[in-house]
Amino acid sequence: AHMSPDFIRKIFMGTLRTVLICQKCGCKRTQTESFSNVSLPLAKEFPTTDTEARSSPRRGRISVRSVLDHFTRPETLADPVDCPSCNSKTKTLKQHTFSKLPEVLCLHLKRFDAAANKKIADFVAFPACGLDMGKYLPHWCERGLEVKDRNNGEHSAKSPKVLYDLFGTVNHTGTLHQGHYVANVKSGKRWYSCNDAFVTTAGEGDGEREVLSSAGAYMLF
């Protein structure tokens, strides 16, 4: 059956919110952009949390949660940016948050580093269930918008739970210049590996352990 573009948008489209904050006067400019997948840079300095280390079959120095933390963390831009309030170029903070989360979240792990001419092959830990995206909504992580506790004025109010469970991955084997893609799909309570025309169970039992410990995770659904 033919799927309409509206049907695809309804399932996969979310909205990113980007803010620029002048470090001199505090002027804030916002911009929103639709996305069907989120590209997340990888770096070895993104630590795996203790919770992730316990839940993952493999130990890794990079995790999806820490990569998301880094993606939504405010960063000072290398070059000054024009501030409409100061009428001059000033040191500026930039931050990404998620103003609208889609029904199906697609995360793209940026393993291909064209500038360094290499593929980042490090293992990335990710959960089978309960990836909480609520903490990345604007009012819970955007600089200057954080919800404060009414009693003490601190940023202690808990974010809403917006939980995602894993049901598919795309893995890449090979190098920057050549390789092969394999998909893992959860149907019912069992995981299946889809390698070209061949579909097999992903591993022993329900196959979840093999999916979570597999190298080369490239896209997560």
Give Cα 132 distance to the centre of its chain.
11
**So what's the pLDDT on residue 114?**
79
pLDDT of residue 152: 52
Look at residue 45 in the predicted model and tell me its pLDDT.
46
Looking at residue 116, its pLDDT comes to 81
Helix/strand/coil (H, E, C) string of 141-169?
HCCCCCCCCCCCCCCCCCCCCCEECCCEE
Q: Do the Cβ atoms of 131 and 164 come closer than 8 Å? A: yes
Q: Which two tokens stand for residue 101?
A: 């989360």
Position 31 scores a pLDDT of 95
* pLDDT tens-place values along the chain, 221 residues long: 566 778 888 999 999 999 999 999 999 999 999 999 999 998 654 545 545 445 555 555 789 999 999 999 999 999 999 999 999 999 999 999 999 999 999 999 999 987 888 888 889 999 999 999 999 999 888 887 766 554 555 555 678 899 999 999 999 999 888 999 999 999 999 999 999 999 999 989 999 999 999 889 999 99
**pLDDT attached to residue 217:** 94
**What distance in Å separates the CA atoms of residue 65 and residue 131, rounded to the nearest whole number?**
8
